[in-house]
Amino acid sequence: MTASPPDRPLRVGVIGLGWAGRSHLARYVTRPDVEVVGLAGMETALREELAAEHGVPVAVDRWEDLLQQAELDAVSVAVPTFLHAPATIAALDAGLHVLSEKPMARTSAEADAMVAAARRNNRVLEVAFNHRYRGDITAMREQVSAGAVGRVYHAKAEWWRRSGIPSLGSWFTNKEMGGGGPLIDLGVHMLDATLHMLGEPKVLTVSGVTHAELGPRGLGGGPDEKQAAGSAFEVEDLGVMLLRLEGGGSVTLEASWATHRPSGDDMAITLYGTDGGIELRTIDYAPAVVTLFATAPDGSEDVVLPVPESLGHTAVVDKFLAVIGDPSSWAEHDGTIGATRTRILEAAYLSAERGAEVTMSELTEKVEVAR
């Protein structure tokens, strides 16, 4: 298979037809250089409707059948977290490029196996961190890169909900299926966006604390029903972590599905720098307010910044396709960033279990031994 076949469009399949999978599909079908040739999803009526609407020739229940029956060059994997590793590795071993939804995997062992599959097959593995393409994140990153706040020595990221557990009893609240609760579900977005804005600093240690106070009592369920697994509530409903960075910097992150607080999805990231600060805040996905805090003590120099359009999954898919079209870049896009995020989250959960700080070198050494 060539990087971008000169005589035909890139043949793509979508595995998983929830909101994320449909977001991938919506962008693919607008691209003249892409032909969507396969869909896999358990929602029979929706699958048939999407296949008919977009003229997709192969539409099946199981991702295994899609890989066998469709002539593919690449796939998007947008299924529950416990299926990310097996579906991705099988696709890579079949010679396909893969765009996996976040979180990349439940554990660093799964994530590392995905990276290894990308490397041994010389294929692209991208992870869909769509929040880094939000307009507010873009505006903040540009200011940091331009030196507007000086050296950032502390960052604070948070995502709070009052009643937003995806669905009690679903795979989201099953530890084996989801890998964790809001830290791995919501927190991974804030972790990725924050480290992305800071220029990918090295994380040295992680301290984590988790709480499960409302979910186990059947409280805090969200309005949207997901595919139920009939599981008890096995994960946290509030998670907190502190990262110590190389060079002395720090990051705190809080993520909650359910807490006694004002209603709404409340997201914020604040960066504290030597020459200023910058903050974004949005509630219920409304257009974010991004404020640059300058050095004037009375706040007279503070500026509310213009926020460009959010590109989300459109940018995620476009980047994936651009990388596929440039074979010289494939080795740089092997899923390593996603695996790093997974390792940090794993360290946070391990720290919460132990009640003590965990060094990232400890987890890295375990990976080296396993290899």
Tell me, what amino acid is at 276? G
Tokens 């391990």 locate to: 350
**β-strands 238-245, 203-211 pairing:** antiparallel
Query: How would DSSP label each residue in 138-197?
Result: HHHHHHHHTTTT-SEEEEEEEEE-SB-BS-TTBGGG-HHHHSSSHIIIIIHHHHHHHHHH
Tokens of 173: 């609240």
Q: How confident is the model at residue 3 (pLDDT cuts 50, 70, 90)?
A: very low
Cβ atoms within 10 A of the Cβ of 350, count? 15
Torsion (CA) 341, 342, 345, 350 in degrees, nearest 10: -140
* pLDDT tens-digit map of 137-154: 999 999 999 999 999 999
C-alpha Rg value of the chain to the nearest Å: 21
Are the C-beta atoms of 181 and 171 separated by less than 8 Å? no
Please give the model's pTM, rounded to 2 decimal places: 0.93
- In angstroms, the CA 258 to CA 237 distance is 6
pLDDT of 5: 59
Residue in 249, 255, 246 with CA at minimum distance from that of residue 359: 246
Average pLDDT over residues 291-314: 88
- CATH class, domain 135-310, is alpha beta
**β-strands 74-77, 250-256 pairing:** unpaired
Cβ atoms within 10 A of the Cβ of 40, count? 28
Q: How confident is the model at residue 333 (pLDDT cuts 50, 70, 90)?
A: very high
Average pLDDT over residues 279-304: 88
CATH T-level topology, domain 10-130+313-333:
Rossmann fold (3.40.50)
**β-strands 97-101, 125-128 pairing:** parallel
- Whether the per-residue pLDDT at 369 is higher than 50: the answer is no
* pLDDT tens-digit map of 111-170: 999 999 999 999 999 999 999 999 999 999 999 999 999 999 999 999 999 999 988 888
Average pLDDT over residues 66-81: 97
Domain residue limits, the chain? 10-130+313-333, 135-310
- In angstroms, the CA 104 to CA 217 distance is 29
